[in-house]
Amino acid sequence: MTTTPPPPSPAPGPAQAPAGPLIMHGQYIKDLSFENPRAPQSLIEQTQPQLSLNVQVTNRQFDAKTFEVALSIEATAKTPKDEPLFMLELVYAGTVTLGDVPQDAFGPLLFIETPRLLFPFARAVVANATREAGFPPLNIAPVDFVALYRQQLEANGGKMPGVTPGGPVGHA
C-alpha cells in the first residue's frame, strides 16, 4: 500500500490580490409604493397612457469608504384626460465599499458605476410591479448615468453631489 504525501501548503507570501475599486455588499428594496387609485376602471379602459418617469441617484456615507447608493425611480401614468392610472415609487439601494482609489474617483464610482450595477434589478422590480398590478410591464429604457452625473455636478457647482457623512442610514 502506497500513500501519497499531502500537497504542500502554500508558502507564506504577499496577501491576496488587491480588491477592486468597488465592492458591492448587498442590494435591496428600501421603499416600494404602487397606487392604482382608479382600479378596476383603470384596467378596463384601453387608452394609451401618458407616462412620466424620474430617476435620481443619491448616497449616504457610513464611513470613509463605505456608502449606501440609492436609485430612486418615480413613474406615473395618466389617461389623456389627465386622470391617474398608476403611481409607482421605488428606492432600490446597495451598500458598497470603495477600494484604494483617489478621492476624485469617488463620484464616478458612486454615481455612475454603482447605479449601473443596481439598475437592471430596479428595472425588473418596476416591470414586475406594474405587471402584477394588471398593467403591461413598464420596461424602462437604459439610463445614461454619465449624463445624469454631469447634470448633478453642474447643479452643485462642480462639487460631488449628495455625499452625506455619518449617521445611521435608514428610512424616516
Ordered per-residue pLDDT tens for the chain, 172 residues: 555 555 555 555 455 545 678 899 999 999 999 999 988 887 787 778 899 999 999 999 999 899 999 999 999 999 888 889 999 999 999 999 998 888 888 999 999 999 999 999 999 999 999 999 988 999 999 999 999 999 888 887 777 665 544 443 333 3
Q: Find the Cα–Cα–Cα–Cα dihedral 93, 98, 103, 108, rounded to 10°.
A: -50
134: alpha, beta or left, given left = phi > 0 and alpha = psi -120 to 50? left
DSSP β-bridge partners for residue 44: none
The pLDDT score that the predictor gives to residue 164 is 47
User: Is the full-model pTM beyond 0.85?
Assistant: no
Find cell 463605505 and name the residue: 66
Residue 17: CB atoms within 10 A of its CB come to: 6
